[in-house]
Amino acid sequence: MERLKIDDVAKATGLTKRAIRYYEEIGLIKPPARSEGGTRLYTQEDIEQLKNIVAAREVLGFSLQELQYFLALKEKIETHRAEYRQAIAGSEQRRELEQMAAGLHRQIAMLDDKMKKMAALKQELNQMAERIDAILEERREE
């Protein structure tokens, strides 16, 4: 498995080295392996995780806190899958599933809200652009 230094990861993700270290510090990514000299060594999986974080921030407008919540929920689901296969008590399984469902529904509601706000902003920008285009067209005719 190829291991990459932080400079290579920064180039691949468009993040600064400081941002990558910060994301590690706050738990958005797992701490990478280190060389004997203490240099961080990242995997392709780490790069993909960072790219997903960048996309979630840029495209969806997630805050770091929302990303932490989402990743914690995702990890909880993965853990639950493993435990579920080991057949923990039925009432405990149900409670876990209900908690995960509630978390997922909150995430969906948050995304719906963000999408509505983005659509409203886009409509407002389109209207402003149309007004400016009309003014420019009037001035061309003068």
The residue with tokens 């149309």 is: 130
The number of C-alpha atoms within 13 Å of 124 and in the hemisphere containing its C-beta is: 6
Terminal alpha carbon distance of the chain: 67
Q: What is the pTM of this model?
A: 0.56
The residue with tokens 């009037």 is: 138
- Amino acid at the residue 84: Y
The model's pLDDT over 100-122, given as tens digits with 9 standing for 90+, comes to 888 889 888 988 888 898 888 88
Q: Digits of tens for pLDDT over the chain (142 positions)?
A: 789 999 999 999 999 999 999 999 988 888 999 999 999 999 998 998 898 888 878 877 778 888 888 777 777 777 776 666 665 566 677 777 788 888 889 888 988 888 898 888 889 999 999 999 998 998 888 7
E strands, 1-140, where? Answer: 33-34, 40-41
